[in-house]
Structure 1
């Protein structure tokens, strides 16, 4: 009986050490995320980011505009929100690393509330859904990926 308890104790101790080690050791950051999950009203899209970048040979700039002076590209929603509502207008500047990014949409770096004539024309800036559909669908059409009205569920989960 005693040997049985010793082996169980050793197994539990090893499992505890592995669990503590997994918690304490820092996670290794991936250069290219394996996938990106996008929740939306059309059904969650699980984008195979790593496959597109490594297996299909796309460069970062093929999809992302540029990295505006930082190592990693900005999140798409920083510039392309689901809607240009008051919440986006009030907080979007926090998503950018520097003032250089402001010049994408503004003629000069905004200081305080903007007059109506100084605000960007959001009619010409695609929302996140329009940007993704324009980018993804045009690439799929050119490269032979799922494309067309009947292909929504190739990307969107039901």
Structure 2
């Protein structure tokens, strides 16, 4: 049972690729307007996830976006992604981030953020995980930034 919940939490962490809803750090205050717009997409998705608003979570992604809930297991089927986010939200994970980097070239952005997550399994067991979130976003014709790749396990190859 713990392994099942651990996998769900790992998925949640992947999805939570780098979002802080708290006050911005000094470095974030130095971001350009477009960098802040990218960060806002991540923050809105995180807030929606923590509020269990899975429809709002899904609007943070382009159709056919890839989410890596577990290393080496990317998922791009929207129905499966919605199911995974729904299941992950049930353990009420709490994410904290120690910083954000946003790099933009043209209409593509990369968001990188170290994260820590705590949650509780249904049996009360505390779950703790951490990682490096790497998300790739594309600017849409209407000016919004949407994720096309969300990998909360960016550190995976270094740990192999």
**TM-score, normalised via structure 1 length:** 0.27
Normalized per residue, the structure richer in helix is 1
Higher relative contact order (CA 8 A, sep 6+): 2
